Chains A and B, each alone.
Chain A
Amino acid sequence: MNALYWWLLLSFLLFCIGAFGVLARRNVILVVMSLEIMLNAVNLALVATANFRGGAKGAGTMFALFIIVLAAAEVTIGLAIVIANYRNRRTVQTDTYDELKG
């Protein structure tokens, strides 16, 4: 029950909150937001571990930085797609996106 463990617990909880949002909310933008929450949780775990265990030539912190950058790019593209889709179908409800229904 040391310090790192508490930080990791926080990270796990945040991750699962984000997972709940991804799975259960209908608005696709909200899903993207929840996805960002999850990414943040992961980043938190990485930075916490880098802090308390270090080593690996700073890989932990670098990893976190890159994740931030890539998350930004991903949000951009994702929301651009959502908006393009919205233009055609005038809705952001995920349960209407079912063309692949078998």
Chain B
Amino acid sequence: MPGGDFHPWYFAVVAVWVLVCGLGVVLFKKIMYSAVAMVFCFLGVAFAYALLNSPLVAIIQILVYVGAISIVVIFAIMLTEVQSGKLELFFNRQTAVAAVAALLGAAILAAVSLSANIGRISPLSKAPGLNELSRLIFSRYVFPFELVSLVLVAAMIGAIVLATRERERP
């Protein structure tokens, strides 16, 4: 198949992995379990990227998501550990409505996209390779690149400000 092979079995494995871990994130009662599920979900998505001929994105996914974001999330979980024995109320009206809405949303998205013509595949297309991506970053997309670094600086500063405890002034 053009644009890289579509290996159905590999796709099936990756898809199941990602979906199961995703469900795990939203359904576990203990937060730590959800965090772990999230890590595995990210890993699965990285594999998906690899399957889609985007090794650079896969590597960066692992570095950033699995390596950094997951750590941050786990730290946050540990810092805000709720007292043991206090489980959150899980099944209530909001949950049911949300479940219905989510299912409905998925179904509709699927139906819409099925009836539409978005799935056209052109024979010559493929994801850009590593050389090409590097060149693009520093030529065409250099401006957003710099802006994003600015955003990162701002985020860093903001996080530090927010996290600093108020010192008591004598």
Which residues of A are interface residues toward B (Cβ below 8 A)? 1-10, 12-21, 23-27, 29-30, 32-34, 36-37, 40, 43-44, 47-48, 50-55, 57-58, 60-62, 64-66, 68-77, 79-84, 86-87, 91-93
Contact A30 B155 (CB under 8 A): no
Given known contacts A40-B45, A54-B122, A58-B132, A79 and B72 CB-to-CB distance under 8 angstroms = yes
Give the contacting residue for B136; candidates A13, A14, A24, A58; CB below 8 A: A58
Main secondary structure of the interface of B (DSSP, over half): helix
Give B84 Cβ to nearest chain A Cβ, in Å.
14
Give A13 Cβ to nearest chain B Cβ, in Å.
6
User: For residue B120, which residue of chain A has the nearest CB?
Assistant: A53
Contact A47 B52 (CB under 8 A): yes
> CB-defined interface of B99-121 with A at 8 Å, one 1/0 digit per residue?
10111011001100110001111
A18 to B48 alpha-carbon distance, docked (Å) = 18
Contact B163 A29 (CB under 8 A): no
Give B129 Cβ to nearest chain A Cβ, in Å.
10
A36 to B56 alpha-carbon distance, docked (Å) = 20
Give B107 Cβ to nearest chain A Cβ, in Å.
9
B144 within 8 A of A: yes
Which residues of B are interface residues toward A (Cβ below 8 A)? 1, 3-4, 6, 11, 15, 18-19, 22-23, 25-26, 31, 34-35, 38, 41-42, 45, 48-49, 52-54, 56-57, 60-61, 64-65, 68-69, 72-73, 75-77, 79-80, 82, 88-90, 94-95, 97-99, 101-103, 105-106, 109-110, 113-114, 118-122, 124-128, 132-133, 136-137, 140-141, 144, 148, 151-152, 154-156, 158-159, 162-163, 165
A81 to B163 alpha-carbon distance, docked (Å) = 8
Contact B26 A18 (CB under 8 A): yes
Contact B124 A54 (CB under 8 A): yes
